[in-house]
Chain A
Amino acid sequence: MSTSHSRAAGKFLEDSGYAKWHDNTFWGVRAKRDTMAFGLDEWERLREKASEIKQHTLTHIDRYLEQFADAAERNGAIVHWAEDADDFNRIVYGILAEHDVKKLVKSKSMLTEECEMNPYLEERGIEVVETDLGERIIQLKGQHPSHIVMPATHLSNRDVCELFEKELGTEPGNDDPVYLTYQARLSLRNEFLTADAGMTGANFGVASTGEIVVCTNEGNADMSTSVPKLQISAIGLEKIIPDYEALSVFTRLLARSATGQPSTVFTSHFAKGRPGGGKLHIVIVDNGRSHWLADPDHWQMLRCIRCGACMNTCPVYRWSGGYSYSYFIPGPLGVNLGMLRDPHRYSGNVSACTLCLSCQCVCPVKIKLGDQIYQWRQKLDDMGEANKEKKRMCMAMEKVMGSVSLYNKATSMLRYVNSLPSAMVNGSLNPWAYGHKMMKFPKRPFHEMIKDVEKGSTDK
């Protein structure tokens, strides 16, 4: 009767203090984004340009991919092409095995999450160490990211304190974030120094130069690739952009939209392996993207630059948390990407939207996330995934609303609903009452009240 998302959200909301804190935290990030956006006169023009550049690039992606790969190979990078997640994991493992890698340090990559690369490599005896602090925390905790930019923000410093005490041997009870961050730094420093290979995701691939561009605040992508000599960078094929002119637009939008900073601390360009025997492998991944590109209703999702702004602003995300969604990416972005990935498996998320459309007001590349969720809902019935009770009620409503006399009769009876026992109205028989109380219906319907008003004004 209820969706997978609404059931999980119900659990999330049981701890109302935590839910309030979660809402405040992400709304705070949205507010910081606004300060940045309002600080630039050209903000809206910038979004428009970004959106158009992405549309242009995606509709020429065949050419830009060729240009990118050719340029990267000219630089001396080794380019691989992965059809799907299995292919990707095999390629990465192949490179690591060839170089006898025991330990891999990596920076955050939603693509490696998507392909479930870490467990694949671990099963084959490779130690994988996440080096973004948030990612490291959830890796130690055995969890998945609850947000694409701030993966561990669902945890409190108390939680991290307990975790680090157990995993890193930090001082019992010391939950000072400065102390905990420093302890993680020391532990990760050791990992960087002893790793055999480093891996990054990619925020952008620049077609004109063949460079991989990675943006971080911690400098962990740079540490991962400056100490070990072997580097692997994974990039989804939609991340290719034409050139530096395009990059200048996206770098101005990304950090401002993501965390409300004018820039990430590091915006690093990788063109080839390090001097003195280093190697750079670039793995370009399709994994469904070329099919999504052919979807006339949803191909524009490929414009996404993964800033996370749509999650921070989404009231449903803020009040239900990342783990209420069944796809590994939450929020409006995740609802859409889940449906592209497997509509039957992830249709339980399309209810996670109030259609307030706040997401599309903040999206730096102007993706119409809410409109697309609405479109998915229209398709649920054809896919056999519509909520059965709601569907029956809709059919009844169609009958009532299609007939003036039936409608008038029904609305004048509605007030009797108020005196029905609450269990009947708010209970399990009424699918709309799940998660919220039903409204109180007025004593008289609107069309009767307005008649009186009209009569009153003509009487005068």
Chain B
Amino acid sequence: MGNRKDIIERCREAIAERLPRPSLDDLRPTVYADPLEQFKITSTAMGSRVETAASASEADAIIRRAYPDAQLIASALPEITIATRNPDTVESAQALNGTDVGVVRGTLGVAENGCIWVPQTMKERDVCFISENLVVLLPASCVVSNMHEAYARVKVPESGYATFIAGPSKTADIAQVLVTGAQAARTMTVILLENE
């Protein structure tokens, strides 16, 4: 059985010269004049639908309009009153299978690539993946230009998991044809909350 001490010791002996870490001060990454506008453009390009609401209380109506046929809606957010399932109280992750729309909150958006940081605040996080359609609420004020700014701000919560999500699940594994809806959500709607 491999042993931590041996492996680390072998690495230590293998190192000929310790090289310095570069500073990113002279990287000069792209910064957008209007990150929110750029975020909308990139998110759309990544396959998301972008909606704007004054506050989370409007989300129900937007979801109903976007997914008129949805019956099973899963969310642990108090603002989502149309939810029929709660990822906090379902008995197992499997019980969320068949969800038409899952609704979660993101805390940070990234303009350069449409990524949204979604920390696990619910008990069963598969709501983010197992739902046929995913809706992410995001405060419009929480959008930064690039990943450097983003990683300076995010942190994995106590639950031990967080993910950046940038649009619906995708694959091009069959003949290089881009298909949305591989193993996770088939569509994604971002609702930007203007008053948050």
Q: Which residues of A contact B (CB under 8 A)?
A: 25, 28-29, 40-42, 45-46, 48-49, 52-53, 55-56, 58-62, 65-66, 69, 75-76, 79-84, 87, 90-91, 131-134, 137, 150-153, 155-157, 160, 177-178, 180-182, 185, 188-189, 192-193, 209, 211, 217-220, 222-223, 226-227, 237, 242, 244-245, 247-249, 251-252, 255, 259, 261-276, 280, 284, 286, 290-291, 293-294, 296, 299
Contact = CB atoms under 8 A, between A and B. Distances in A.
Interface stretch (B52-60, B65-73, B148-156): B148-156
B99 to A, nearest CB: 12
Dominant SS among interface residues on chain B: loop
B166 A49 contact: no
A65 B114 contact: no
Given A248-B147, A269-B156, A223 B11 contact: no
Nearest to A285: B2
Given A134-B173, A274-B161, 11 more contacts: A61-B15, A65-B7, A81-B4, A177-B175, A177-B179, A192-B183, A217-B182, A227-B126, A262-B112, A265-B167, A274-B125
A185 B167 CA distance: 17
A227 B124 CA distance: 8
Nearest to A293: B14
Contacts of B12: 62
Interface string B19-45: 111101011111000000000001000
Interface size class of B (residues with CB under 8 A): 35 or more
Contact of B147 (A59, A193, A218, A252): A252
Contacts of B42: 262
Interface of B: 1-4, 6-22, 24, 26-30, 42, 46, 93-94, 97, 110, 112-115, 120, 123-126, 128-130, 146-148, 150-152, 154, 156, 159-177, 179, 181-185
Contact of A275 (B29, B123, B152): B123
B182 A177 contact: no
B184 A83 contact: no
Given A237-B7, A275-B159, A263 B185 contact: no
Nearest to B124: A226
27 contacts: A41-B28, A45-B28, A53-B22, A61-B15, A69-B4, A80-B2, A84-B2, A131-B183, A150-B172, A152-B173, A153-B173, A180-B174, A181-B173, A218-B171, A220-B183, A222-B129, A223-B129, A248-B146, A249-B24, A251-B151, A262-B166, A263-B164, A272-B160, A286-B2, A290-B10, A290-B11, A299-B14
